Structure 1
Amino acid sequence: MTKKRYYEDAYLQTFQAGIISRGKEADGTSYVVLDQTAFYPTGGGQPSDLGYIADVAVVDVEEVDGEIRHRLAAPLADEIVEVTGTIDWERRFDHMQQHTGQHILSAAFDELIEAPTVAFHLGRETVTIDIATSDLSAEKAQVVERLANQIVLENRDITARFVDEAELAAMPLRKPPTVTENIRIVAIDRFDYNPCGGTHPARTGEVGMIKILGWEKAKGNTRVEFVCGLRALASFGQKQTVIKELTRLLAAQEFELPAQITRLLAERKELEYQIGEFKSLQLEQEARELLNTAVPVRSYLVVKQVFANRTIQELQKLAQLICTQNPAAIALLAGTGAKTQLVFSRGTDVKLAMNALLKETLVLIDGKGGGSLTTAQGGGESQKPADELLVHASGLIETSEE
């Protein structure tokens, strides 16, 4: 069992250790257990550290049955019994900033609006906490964010240590510990006392800026998304790049962007409407032209046409217009591409079932489809030319019984 653990020195980047045991996970991933480690295992909402052991990449670290398994990209040679471990410090420090920022922000939410944190997740890009309130306004969030950043600017001491029962009872804990022994308290001077096993810096100033990005409802609570420190700097830089590009493209100043974009969206909506109207007129004209090519079959007028690169929605609309313009019409339309798409439709004077007609036609290409008595659609692999399928369907109309 690992003796010395990660939380004894959050700043430790390199350490020496002996291998206690080796093994393989069910998926074949090799792992080692060390007699001491600086690697933080996944837990408490914080991902594990990564890095190297004996120059082999550590891909994951997890505590299993009291032992800390360091999962490796490749197995270590059998003769290796003593190793050097190296922490990915950039990742470690980022996690220290985000996790401690979470402590500060959670304490601020609790203190100012009495909304304790009920869940925490440290992601690759952002961090989230779920707070016990369904009523978070922009004004409340701003006040909380300001207090959190004030605590950062005051550069308060952060301590992490194990406490006994007497010390624990005297502390104003934000939440009770989830364990009954080896209780470790992370304390932010005169602000927050929290049971936690994670990695944290020595002072709040190292957390850097805490910035709330947004929030949403989540199972009766509110999920708050935020970033801290270097992540906040990167986020600001990305947004500034986007804003500068928008001001260039729209020839507008930064404060004018919302109004300019609102105007453009309104213009786009109007153009989309006009294009839709124009397409409808085009389809109506196309339907009239296709009716002029209709072939009499029994007492019906059958329109057969194959199209390339037409969507199924366009085929359906066109078939509907054909049959609306002439109630005795039957539209047999096909679209070609990666697959063959068929749309069969009938006018109100036609009694043939289009879904049955389609089913008998799709058999030729092992296709699938469905629909109603009046309109049916489906498709399959292009095993036969589309025009042959329509000729087959037309033949079925000629021989069918109503």
Structure 2
Amino acid sequence: MENKLYYRDAYLRNFSAELIEQKEDETGRKYVTLSQTAFYPTGGGQPSDTGRLNGIEVVDVEEVSGEIRHYIKEELKEGNRIEGAIDWERRFDHMQQHAGQHILSAAFEELYEYKTVSFHLGKDTLTIDLDTENLGTVEAGKVEELANQIILENRPIHTKWVGEDELKQYRLRKELSVSNNIRLVIIPDFDYNGCGGTHPNSTAEVGSLKILGWERQKKLVRVEFVCGQRVLDKLGQKHEVIKELTGLLNSPEQDMGASVNRLLWQKKELEKNIDELKDRLLKYEAADMIVAGKGAIISRVFQNRNIQELQKLGRMLVSDAEDKIFLLASENEEKLQFVFAKGKNAEGNLKEWSKQALSMIDGKGGGNEMLVQGGGRLIPGEEFIRKVTGFIQ
């Protein structure tokens, strides 16, 4: 463990080392190994550090078969002593988030005995999966309150290497995944947990913790939250959104919910009025087609009409002209759609006609004896009508 400087001092930002090896992995990514490093590798739900080695960007760090690989954008010059610098803002953010996760998981277990079964530290938020099928708002509120109380109390966060024989002294929150090189992260009288991640020296450095929400995941509950600077970032983002909405709605923040509900109601009323007007328009179109139509089969081509409108128009037509058959086609961007509708006193096999029509446009469709619909590749609507009525008659 001596070459893992992040375990000696999680606050170490710069270090020196010797270049041990420079290679490419099986995917062709360049990496180097060093005599020692302050770069934390991905593990235990925590992403790796990034930073620079002799000015070359380190984009990822992984521990593979006991060696820590620093993946770099460009090749390093051989034989040089290495000067490393980690991205401190990223490192401290991860320290805050990971310590906050320990506190939140311990709070869930202390108050309700909900164990954490997995943890993920993402770019914007964190999640833990709890071994319970339900989580109530009151429960979440009490857990958040306890977690922030522990943060406010500025309790120390200790790390300690122990052997298996020493573990009996501690009330561990979860079973260990290793049997040697055991590292405990301890918040006295609150949480004792085996962990290889980086953490601050006190709970106060976590800053604060906010639960953002939760959802059911099979037989678990996934809780999403943020800690430290991320809480302020989220607050800032939400504040900007609220300011913008306040202007758009011309309403103070406390009345915003009522304003949105009013707009949604108005939108529903408008949509209802639009649907009624569309139906009236379709009735006029149906009457016009019936008056202007000649012969047993009446057809018309439309532009950008969806299949639902064509179906509705077809039903209106045959309800008023029970001895007629109607063929409606619409040219829609890259697709031609059509509807066959037959009055109850008209004769003709719509399904058979539809098969032939679909073969002309390499299309698919379906329906019943009185109304069929389909669609396929785009050809001129008038050409389609002409060909279809040609083989029918």
Normalised by the size of structure 1, how large is the TM-score? 0.90
Q: Provide the residue aligned with 1:288 in structure 2.
A: 287
Q: Provide the residue aligned with 2:257 in structure 1.
A: 258
Distance 1:291 1:186, change over 3 A: same
- Equivalent residues in 2 for 1:3-22 (5 A)? 3-22=3-22
Deviation at 1:81, TM superposition (A): 4.7
Q: Which amino acid aligns with 2:374?
A: Q
- Equivalent residues in 2 for 1:290-305 (5 A)? 290-296=289-295, 300-303=296-299, 305=300
Q: Provide the residue aligned with 1:110 in structure 2.
A: 109
- Aligned residue pairs total 390
Matched, 1:379 2:364: no
Q: Provide the residue aligned with 1:333 in structure 2.
A: 328
Instruction: Provide the C-alpha distance between the structure 2 equivalents of 1:26 and 1:318, rounded to a whole number of angstroms.
Output: 62
Deviation at 1:29, TM superposition (A): 1.7
Q: Which amino acid aligns with 1:67?
A: E
Deviation at 1:394, TM superposition (A): 0.9
Name the SS for the 1:23 alignment partner.
strand
Distance 1:167 1:279, change over 3 A: same
Q: Which amino acid aligns with 1:164?
A: G
Q: Which amino acid aligns with 1:330?
A: I
Instruction: Provide the C-alpha distance between the structure 2 equivalents of 1:6 and 1:328, rounded to a whole number of angstroms.
Output: 86
Distance 1:237 1:325, change over 3 A: same
Contact 2:17 2:34 in 1 (8 A): yes
Deviation at 1:350, TM superposition (A): 4.4
Q: Which amino acid aligns with 2:387?
A: H
List per-residue Cα deviations over 1:35-82 (Å, max 9, x = no partner). Answer: 2221122121111112222322222222222222222223334x3553
Contact 2:18 2:35 in 1 (8 A): yes
Instruction: Provide the C-alpha distance between the structure 2 equivalents of 1:329 and 1:87, rounded to a whole number of angstroms.
Output: 79
Distance 1:329 1:33, change over 3 A: farther
Q: Provide the residue aligned with 1:342 in structure 2.
A: 337
Q: Provide the residue aligned with 1:184 in structure 2.
A: 183
Name the SS for the 2:90 alignment partner.
helix
Name the SS for the 2:337 alignment partner.
strand
Q: Which amino acid aligns with 2:310?
A: L
Contact 1:319 1:343 in 2 (8 A): no
Q: Provide the residue aligned with 2:66 in structure 1.
A: 66
Normalised by the size of structure 2, how large is the TM-score? 0.92
Identity of aligned residues (%): 49
Residues 125-134 or 102-111, more deviating: 125-134
Deviation at 1:395, TM superposition (A): 0.7
Deviation at 1:319, TM superposition (A): 2.9
- Equivalent residues in 2 for 1:185-224 (5 A)? 185-224=184-223
Deviation at 1:364, TM superposition (A): 3.9
Matched, 1:389 2:388: no
Instruction: Provide the C-alpha distance between the structure 2 equivalents of 1:144 and 1:81, rounded to a whole number of angstroms.
Output: 51
List per-residue Cα deviations over 1:63-118 (Å, max 9, x = no partner). Answer: 222222222223334x3553222211111111111111111111111111111111
Instruction: Provide the C-alpha distance between the structure 2 equivalents of 1:141 and 1:316, rounded to a whole number of angstroms.
Output: 50
Name the SS for the 1:295 alignment partner.
coil
Contact 2:331 2:337 in 1 (8 A): no
Matched, 1:313 2:312: no
Matched, 1:141 2:136: no
Instruction: Return structure 1 stretches of 4+ with deviation > 6 angstroms.
Output: none
Distance 1:97 1:325, change over 3 A: farther
Deviation at 1:144, TM superposition (A): 0.9
Residues 306-315 or 229-238, more deviating: 306-315
Q: Provide the residue aligned with 1:43 in structure 2.
A: 43
- Equivalent residues in 2 for 1:77-156 (5 A)? 77=77, 79-156=78-155
Name the SS for the 1:211 alignment partner.
strand
Gaps of 5+ in 1: none
Q: Which amino acid aligns with 1:32?
A: V
Instruction: Provide the C-alpha distance between the structure 1 equivalents of 2:80 and 2:347, rounded to a whole number of angstroms.
Output: 85
Name the SS for the 1:292 alignment partner.
helix
Name the SS for the 2:106 alignment partner.
helix
Q: Which amino acid aligns with 2:248?
A: L
Contact 2:151 2:203 in 1 (8 A): yes
Distance 1:23 1:346, change over 3 A: same
Instruction: Provide the C-alpha distance between the structure 2 equivalents of 1:291 and 1:7, rounded to a whole number of angstroms.
Output: 85
Name the SS for the 1:139 alignment partner.
helix
Q: Provide the residue aligned with 2:353 in structure 1.
A: 357
Residues 327-336 or 190-199, more deviating: 327-336
Distance 1:378 1:337, change over 3 A: closer
- Equivalent residues in 2 for 1:17-36 (5 A)? 17-36=17-36
Q: What do you get for the CA RMSD once the two structures are aligned?
A: 2.2
Contact 2:108 2:143 in 1 (8 A): yes
